[in-house]
Structure 1
Amino acid sequence: MARTGSTTAILAAVLFGVSTPMAKLLVHDLSPWMLAGLLYLGSGTGLALVRLVRGLAVPAERSERSIRGAEWFWLLGAVLAGGIAAPVLLMSGLAATPASSASLLLNLEGVFTALLAWFVFREGFDRRLVAGMIAIVAGAVALSWDGPVDIGSLWESPWTGGWAGGWGAAAIAAACLMWALDNNLTRKVSLADPMDIAMIKGLVAGCVNVGIALALGDGMPAVPTMIAAMLVGLLGYGVSLVLFVFALRHIGTARTGAYFSTAPFVGGIASLAMFGEPLTAGLVVASVLMGIGVWLHLTEDHDHDHAHEEIVHDHPHVHDEHHQHGHDGPVTEPHSHRHRHGYLRHRHPHYPDAHHVHTH
């Protein structure tokens, strides 16, 4: 399960990382509201079509379960934070920030995700994870720093001084915070079908953002521009989010965020190739520091004696060491149904998935 989680998180990071410089190509033709709306609308409608085609081709029983009960409230919060607020902040920041710098600044999402997971949602952590996050923060500072700061000018205008990107960098950081909240709220519904989660997020956020853009006086873009934005959204926001939710399910929020921190490196490399931006010393130093932070997370080994309290829940599973229940007839794996776990105490390497929510 840990291998599945890390693999899907890295694949999600690759798709999202490449989408950032691609969105940079479109940001000058569309307002932030319209571009954010089309990105998420492409995600939602594309996944809806995939769901429709898959249902027609394979009408058998689904192995994933639907969203239910209180999970709808967590999903609503995730949509508001990550599907509406964050994309607009990101697109606004991209308009005033070099694409390679913006891509690497997105590492802050992993930091904010971990801080919320550890101190608000009470997910376990250790010194290695903290050291990794410190390295990532140091890389973000090295990336943004552009000489000495005039304290007086900062007091008069918080968007000027020695910070590269100015308000654009601040907008990107705010987007990272909103996505971090989104990640932690999405973890609350990660046992439901990831495609349902990503599809609903995309449709709701896309319709809201496009509606706001139209209300502010924007017109619908030309068809080729619209199709390009929606395709970027399907891969970079839709498929990427499906993979991200799978990772949340298996390795928890903070660790998934750490793996996802590889996205800015992918975006930074793509930006250098696409826009011909110079490879600066700050970019190199930031890459090294952020790379060290990600490596510390990737090489973590979490193993200790722990107890599983009795629990009843419903999620896709196979009959592994945590699932030893019987069935009345033959079954295929993975499958999803309501099942009970009795008390169990043992030791093995593990991550904070649905079966390992103990404190440390």
Structure 2
Amino acid sequence: MTTHALARRQAIAPHTLVGMAALAAVVALWSSFALSARATDGTGLTMADAAIVRFAVPAIVLAPWIPRTIRRLREERQIVVALVLLAGLPHYLLFAWGAHLTSAALTGLLVPGTVPLFVAVLLFVRRPSRMPRRRLVALAAIAAGVAVSAVMTTGSAGPGGIVVLLAAGFVWAAYTVGLSRSRLDPVGVIVLISLASVVGAIVLAVIGALPSHLLSGSIEPGAVVGYALLQGVGTGLLSTACYVVAVKHLGSSIPAAAGALSPVLTAIVAVPLFGEPVTAGLALALALIVSGVAMSALTPAVPPRPGIRFPRRSER
């Protein structure tokens, strides 16, 4: 190995380690997101209330960065901004709705489990290229796991909830692709998503499109505080920041695939928390998805350089 190649590998390694550490945090936080979304019914919060609390916390904490983020939006392409915004209220409402219709384990399985598939499809449609055979096998294993979970998992999960969760997975995949092309830093991404989402949630509650107990004052403060800490701080701030860091350092495919590991943690914790058994169908689905994720992670991939600038259409 030449000195230049060795120096280049040593320069890339710290970014890779940072990205992998961020991914580990994302897996844990996403699992808590699925569990808390499933437990929303017991708090008295409606979906609109949960969305307001979830996005208001980071919007308030990061309020000093709002002017800077608005200025930087002028440099972003509109399609990129639209894709980034999908991670806010659209994804949250789909995820919460799906969690209401299904079990916690299935909620934590289908959304992150389908993201790698949708990301691969979106990237292929945008720029068709030959995919490595190992990655194809990995994606096939994940797809098989998702199919098994939909067919063999019994209980409260219905076909409607599965469809909603698949839609949430597609929305997050589109966000992941858009995020990899954004010039915004992690703080800017969180500010953009949180501010737009909390405004949208309040508007939907005020016009009556979504019911709200929070705006009417008929909800206990304790439930709001607890949910604000778990969802607002944990998911709203930490998980979003960690995911942005992971995508910036590792690209869009690896974080999307590694995120599918969160169902394992979700399924395990859901057993004592909600009394949801790990059925044979769910166990098989988990095994297939984890195998696919591991194989995908072992497939060689070249991470993008931090700070890469995507040219505007007029510059191409």
Task: State the alpha-carbon separation in 1 of the partners of residues 249 and 79 from structure 2.
Answer: 19
In structure 2, the CA distance between the partners of 1:229 and 1:292, relative to structure 1 (3 Å rule), is same
**Conserved 8 A contact 1:81-1:182:** yes
Letter in 2 for 1:262: L
Provide the C-alpha distance between the structure 2 equivalents of 1:241 and 1:80, rounded to a whole number of angstroms.
12
How far apart are 1:164 and its partner, in Å? 4.3
Give, in angstroms, the shift of residue 85 of structure 1: 1.4
Equivalence for 2:5: none
Where structure 1 has 5 or more consecutive residues not aligned to the other structure, the ranges are 53-65, 148-160, 303-349
**In the alignment, what sits opposite 2:121?**
115
2:226 aligns with: 228
How high is the TM-score relative to the length of structure 1?
Answer: 0.70
Q: Tell which structure's C-alpha radius of gyration is larger.
A: 1
Equivalent in 74, 95, 99 of residue 94 of structure 1: 99
| Aligned pair partner of 2:82 in 77, 92, 105 | 77
> For residue 276 of structure 1, what is the amino acid of its counterpart?
G
- Counterparts in 2 of 1:270 and 1:71: CA distance versus 1, 3 Å: farther
**CA–CA distance in structure 1, aligned partners of residues 267 and 56 of structure 2:** 25
Match of 1:11 among 25, 30, 49: 25
- The residue that corresponds to 1:219 in the other structure is 213
Task: Identify which of 168, 173, 186 aligns with 2:166.
Answer: 173
What stretches of structure 2 of length at least 5 have no aligned partner?
1-14, 311-316
**2:9 is matched with which residue?**
none
> How far apart in 2 are the matches of 1:201 and 1:138?
32
Aligned-residue offset at 1:122 = 6.1
Match of 1:326 in 2: none
Identical residues among aligned pairs (%):
21
Instruction: Point out the more displaced range, 77-86 or 179-188.
Output: 77-86
The 8 Å contact of residues 74 and 186 in structure 1, kept in 2 or not, is answered as no
Match of 1:37 in 2: 52
Residues 85 and 196 of structure 2 are in contact (CA less than 8 Å); yes or no, is this contact kept in structure 1?
no
* 2:251 corresponds to: 252
- Residue by residue over 1:31-70, the C-alpha shift from the partner in whole angstroms, topping out at 9 and shown as x without a partner, is 2233223222233334448x79xxxxxxxxxxxxx83534
Which of 53, 72, 83 aligns to 1:67? It is: 72
Deviations 1:129-182 (A, max 9, x none): 2221111111111111149xxxxxxxxxxxxx9994221111111111111111
Mapped partners of 2:30, 2:150: distance in 1: 21
**TM-aligned CA deviation for residue 73 of structure 1:** 2.5
- Which residue in the other structure is 1:21 paired with? 35
Alignment-mate amino acid for residue 273 of structure 1:
P
Moved over 3 A (4+): 46-49, 66-70, 121-125, 161-164, 352-357
- Which structure has the highest helix share of the two? 2
Task: Name the CA shift for 1:229/1:118 in 2 (closer, same or farther; >3 Å).
Answer: farther
Task: Judge which range, 171-180 or 72-81, deviates more.
Answer: 72-81
Deviations 1:246-298 (A, max 9, x none): 11111211122112222222222222231121121011101110110110122
Pairs aligned (count) = 284
Deviations 1:2-59 (A, max 9, x none): 232222123212211222111211135222233223222233334448x79xxxxxxx
- Residues 285-294 or 16-25, more deviating: 16-25
